[in-house]
A = this chain, B = another copy of it.
Amino acid sequence: MLDAHLRDEFDRLGIRQGRILVAVSGGRDSMVLLDLVARCRRDLGLSLVVGHVDHGLRGVASAADRAHVREAAERMGAAFRVRSIAPEIGRSVPSSRDRPTLEEAARTLRRAALRDMAGNDDCRWIATAHHAGDQAETLLMRLLRGTGPDGLAGMAPRSADGRWLKPLLRVLPERISAWAEEEGIAWREDESNQDRRFTRNRLRLDWIPGLEATFNPQLLRTLGDLAEAGRQDLEWIEGLVDEAVGERVELGTSGVRFAIGGWDEIPEALARRVVRRVLIEVGLGRHVSRTHLERILAFLRRGRAAGRDKRLELPRGFVLRRRGDGFELSA
């Protein structure tokens, strides 16, 4: 059952003939993913590399996780690679505004380590074991903490650059759990999954079961459907934003030039996305609030009436000003 699902998903995503790095922590989900990929590797012509990231946060347990994953890799004749990371280092940023949480820092370093291992081994793909429960948590976390409509597309089964795969994203956690039991797959429990200091754990342990019981026993599936529809929307919309950016914005080496006119003629939803896209390109993505976005749009909409002397100050020393027959955004 689940092995057939994985094979279908790989077919759909066009994954065959190449080296694939499977990210394995030693926990239930990634041990199941490893088992499933190993089962179909021959038919699909995949060469399997097991990548383990040692967070070093769990003392003796970390060493045991590593040994567990290494043994599994050896048993199935797959290459084993390991990288140690120290998430605390990623947090040594002076301003608290820019400092990531421990979870964010760990995620960034973990992804860098996996990318690095994949690069060293010429792996075309990196697969992680995120499933429908993780997707639902992501959607709910974003919804509760604040997100625009695009955020509800959730995680993608394949990243835009084609590198990162999440082939279990539509699989309910109980199916993974059943597979682990039926197939006798041994995994290592990560106690930090029970740690209620992490909001995501509280959501999973304390809230989702109650929401399922009160509102919808199929909640995970329902949120998965929403994420999929949101992702289809996003792909469509991103294409429209690309076009609009191409028509109205020049991204140069010294800065960005916006067209002088026409900002009143495109719908607010599109105009905002065009500006947001540009801000992300110049590295202001995280630093620009709703209010900034609105001010920029209001400035652009004034067109020639904005005047040459008027300027709009933005974070990190960026300035938007009318210059010649356009607007220039530069640092």
Measuring CB to CB, which residues of chain A are less than 8 angstroms from any residue of chain B? Answer: 141, 143-149, 152, 199, 202-203, 207, 210-211, 214-216, 218-219, 222-223, 225-226, 229-230, 232-233, 235-237, 239-240, 267-270, 272, 290
Instruction: Classify the secondary structure of A's interface with B.
Output: helix
Contacts of A215 in B (CB 8 A): 141, 144-145, 199, 203
Can you list 22 A-B pairs, Cβ within 8 angstroms, ordered by A? A141-B215, A143-B223, A144-B215, A145-B216, A146-B218, A146-B222, A146-B225, A146-B226, A148-B229, A149-B152, A199-B215, A203-B215, A207-B210, A207-B211, A225-B290, A229-B269, A232-B268, A232-B272, A235-B269, A236-B267, A236-B270, A240-B240
Contacts of A237 in B (CB 8 A): 233, 269
Contacts of A270 in B (CB 8 A): 236
Interface contact B222-A144, CB-CB below 8 Å: yes
Contacts of A232 in B (CB 8 A): 267-269, 272
Contacts of A148 in B (CB 8 A): 226, 229
A212 closest partner in B (C-beta): B144
A146 closest partner in B (C-beta): B222
Find A269's partner among B149, B214, B236 (CB 8 Å cutoff). Answer: B236
CA distance A29 to B240 in the complex (A): 41
Most chain B beta carbons < 10 A, residue from A214, A239, A269, A270: A269
Taking the closest CB of chain B, its distance from the CB of A287, in whole angstroms, is: 19
Contacts of A152 in B (CB 8 A): 149, 152
Say yes or no: A214-B202 contact (C-beta < 8 A), given A146-B225, A229-B149. yes
Most chain B beta carbons < 10 A, residue from A148, A233, A235, A268: A233
Contacts of A219 in B (CB 8 A): 144
Interface contact B149-A216, CB-CB below 8 Å: no
Lowest 7 A-B CB distances belong to which pairs?
A236-B267, A144-B215, A236-B269, A232-B269, A146-B222, A233-B269, A148-B229
